Structure 1
Amino acid sequence: MAQSSTNTPAVIGTSPPPGRAYPNGNPDRGYNPPGVRNTDSALPLHRNAPVRHNYACVGPAPGTIALRWTYGSNIAARNRDPRVQVMQYNEDTFLLRQNVCVHWEAPFTYLLFGNEGALLIDSGATANPDHYPLRATVDAIVTRWAKARGRRKVPLTIALTSAEDIAQNQGLVQFAGRPDTVIVPKPLELMKRFYGLQRSWPSGTGRIDLGDRVVEVLPTPGTHKDGVSFYDPYCDLLFTGDLLFPGKINIGNDRDFVASLERLKAFAATTSVKWILGGHVEMMFVPGKSYPRFATYKPYERVLEMEPALLDEALRYAREVQGKDMMLIRPDFVLFNGVSPDQRTQSWPEGVPNINPPRPF
């Protein structure tokens, strides 16, 4: 539900019952008719003080990943799609993707808002703002969100799923000197200290409080030694960066990789996870097929979101490749342990349908 400018809750009686269609928003108000899943906190009803949103809800906050991501061009120089594609998951959660013709990995970044600030997870693969205007895009979203909530400023925290991952850390330089901005330090020991994980890494849990929306920080080394995942209990989204995504997963340390997946599986067993959202998409919509590196035209991509059950499958096959130099294909991802990311398998894996995707021409 939303709160008014006097910081008193909108009148809805008691707490929302389990399974209500929209856990936020007042269904008794005329501007929230039955069946509509928006909320009332962004409406310009109160302007004598900032509007506050109640992030405590039953089940995941409503949100939709409803449009197709841009998929590039055969000739990258002729592509005219936005350099940054923005998808509004709900009024407080945004999914951003770098144009595949600007960088072939087309990494995702995620922008979350709370009552006291915002969090940007990852920063993309390109430093040049003329080619990849991440800061300008984020600033525009923040400005519009602040105006809707009656706020003069919104402090921003920028955190990386891995400072080692070039495809997720290059845009960080665009935010240097930005007012009201905190950048989580890149060196591993300083990052641990920022999250309070000096003594508990990698088993501890950190927190980023955005104001009634507290994002959990889970150490998940394995593809990178400084890897972390982020869990948003408002939308029940788990952001895993390079650790688990629908693509070619290059394992850096197989023992850490298995341990991190075990940690996430145990976490998901006691916590509601609606979707797992990784840092990239490289798989096609047909099982086990992926795009080659440096491809800038990907018209048959798999969807970004992954079901929590994929944690079980990833853990099973991570254990299978542990201690072996090999590539292993699964329908939704490919594991590379101790081999080149260009490695090819000689035989198609049992249990995975071998379907050739249509030609894109």
Structure 2
Amino acid sequence: MPQSSTAKPVMTGNQPSATGSAYPNGNPALGYNPAGIRNTDSAVPLHRDAPVNHDYACAGPAPGALVFRWTYGSNVAAHNRDPRVQVVQYNEDTFVLRQNVCVHWEAPFTYLLFGNRGALLIDCGATADARHYPLRETVDAIIARWGQMRGRDKVPLTVVLTSGEDVAQNQGLVQFAGRPDTTIAPKPLAVMQRFYGLEGSWPSGGGRIDLGDRVIEVIPTPGTHRDGVSFYDPYCDFLFTGDLLFPGKINIGNDKDFVASLERLKTFASVNPVKWVMGGHVEMMFVPGKYYPRFATYKPYERVLEMEPGLIDEAIRYGREVQDKDMMLIRPDFVLFNGVSPDQRTREWPEGVPNITPPRPF
């Protein structure tokens, strides 16, 4: 087995009660939720003697729901009145946050996961200034509410990045500097490798982050960036891939590493169930092969965020096709740019991709 490291947020206080073990999906007898709605551990009285422990073991992916359409910006960014951070609660212990596209045109996603001993924030967005992008304030509010429902005064937080080199995912990190009960994964490549216990095995090894009965796997995936990592959540069966694989314009930094990392993900997914691949951005339209240009702040016809795991195979196939070539290649769900500008255009529409004119956004 490869060497691994565990970053464990340590909880204080009394030992948690075992309601999660007794009722893995909450107590259906309490009647707090309408018929047909999944009962959860938060549907127990708020007045308790000890923190609630959730059972994260389940036969399949934990149920949840994502939005079909995210807030999509405005023609004039200054006129936009949407929240600076959009929050979607996938389930009781999993949150998806998106930066307002009018605050930063890449509108990156971040993910907040909870376990019995702490929380994990994956990526930090593209804006450092909390006045324009109040990520920490938003995360703190979610953690406070979650702690209240679970009877926990302290919820240690671990902050990690799919790439410390990716400015669209690391700028908000400064907001968490000095935050109590917070562990931040370091950005320099060598130090980051030590943090995950990967200094002797990179990029073939693996690490772990134990949130308390919800253990997140760390998978080295350089290719778009030298320090790229992906994260796997066995509770929701999500594979978080940052900008290695997402529905948008994938700018390959090293084509050999890119293909090798995708093959590593394919091998991982062959032995670990993956419901969805969750990337760091959405740039594709719902029309196959069509995408928004850089700096666009109005994107009303976006493709959905989640990607089927079968797209890993497609990315491998076409990653090999562009390898050792300076070219762009359009596919229905993503576009590969290898050795060319992200503004590169092509006159020839690719075979096998329907050429549908998207609706005008105005």
User: Would you say same fold, with TM above 0.5?
Assistant: yes
1:44-81 deviations in Å (ceiling 9; x for gaps): 35511111101111100011103521000000011000
Counterpart for residue 114 of structure 1: 115
Counterpart for residue 60 of structure 2: 59
The answer on 1:339 being equivalent to 2:350 is no
Check conservation: 2:17, 2:53, Cα contact below 8 A.
no
| Secondary structure of 1:52's aligned partner | coil
Counterpart for residue 87 of structure 2: 86
The answer on 1:143 being equivalent to 2:138 is no
Counterpart for residue 100 of structure 1: 101
Kindly state the Cα deviation for residue 34 of structure 1 after the two structures are TM-superposed.
6.0
Q: Check 1:47–1:292 CA distance in 2 against 1; reply closer, same or farther (3 A cut).
A: same
Matched letter for residue 207 of structure 2: G
Counterpart for residue 256 of structure 2: 255
Identical aligned pairs, as a percentage? Answer: 80
Check conservation: 1:207, 1:217, Cα contact below 8 A.
yes
Check conservation: 2:21, 2:54, Cα contact below 8 A.
no
**Which structure is richer in relative contact order (CA contacts within 8 A, separation 6 or more)?**
2
The answer on 1:134 being equivalent to 2:143 is no
How many corresponding residue pairs?
348
Q: Check 1:135–1:11 CA distance in 2 against 1; reply closer, same or farther (3 A cut).
A: closer
Matched letter for residue 253 of structure 2: G
1:298-344 deviations in Å (ceiling 9; x for gaps): 00000000000101101100010001110000000000000000000
Q: Check 1:70–1:328 CA distance in 2 against 1; reply closer, same or farther (3 A cut).
A: same
Counterpart for residue 358 of structure 1: 359
Query: Could you tell me how far apart the structure 1 residues matched to 2:19 and 2:354 are?
Result: 56
Q: Check 1:5–1:300 CA distance in 2 against 1; reply closer, same or farther (3 A cut).
A: same
Check conservation: 2:119, 2:158, Cα contact below 8 A.
yes
Residue pairs, 1:1-361, within 5 angstroms? 6-7=17-18, 11=22, 24-27=25-28, 29-31=30-32, 35-44=36-45, 47-361=48-362
1:189-234 deviations in Å (ceiling 9; x for gaps): 1100010001111111100000110000000000000000000000
Q: Check 1:210–1:9 CA distance in 2 against 1; reply closer, same or farther (3 A cut).
A: closer
Q: Check 1:324–1:67 CA distance in 2 against 1; reply closer, same or farther (3 A cut).
A: closer
Matched letter for residue 52 of structure 1: N
Query: Could you tell me how far apart the structure 2 residues matched to 1:81 and 1:125 are?
Result: 17
Kindly state the Cα deviation for residue 5 of structure 1 after the two structures are TM-superposed.
5.2
The TM-score, its normalising length taken from structure 2, stands at 0.93
Runs of 4+ deviating beyond 6 Å = none
Matched letter for residue 54 of structure 2: H
Gaps of 5+ in 1: 13-22
Check conservation: 2:26, 2:43, Cα contact below 8 A.
no
Matched letter for residue 175 of structure 1: F
Q: Check 1:144–1:67 CA distance in 2 against 1; reply closer, same or farther (3 A cut).
A: farther
Query: Could you tell me how far apart the structure 1 residues matched to 2:208 and 2:230 are?
Result: 11
Matched letter for residue 59 of structure 2: V
Check conservation: 2:123, 2:162, Cα contact below 8 A.
yes
Kindly state the Cα deviation for residue 346 of structure 1 after the two structures are TM-superposed.
1.6
Kindly state the Cα deviation for residue 8 of structure 1 after the two structures are TM-superposed.
5.9
| Secondary structure of 2:333's aligned partner | coil
| Secondary structure of 2:183's aligned partner | strand
Kindly state the Cα deviation for residue 289 of structure 1 after the two structures are TM-superposed.
0.3
Kindly state the Cα deviation for residue 31 of structure 1 after the two structures are TM-superposed.
4.1
Matched letter for residue 339 of structure 2: G
Check conservation: 2:214, 2:235, Cα contact below 8 A.
yes
Check conservation: 2:288, 2:332, Cα contact below 8 A.
yes
The TM-score, its normalising length taken from structure 1, stands at 0.93
Kindly state the Cα deviation for residue 28 of structure 1 after the two structures are TM-superposed.
5.2
1:222-266 deviations in Å (ceiling 9; x for gaps): 000000000000000000001000000000000000000000011
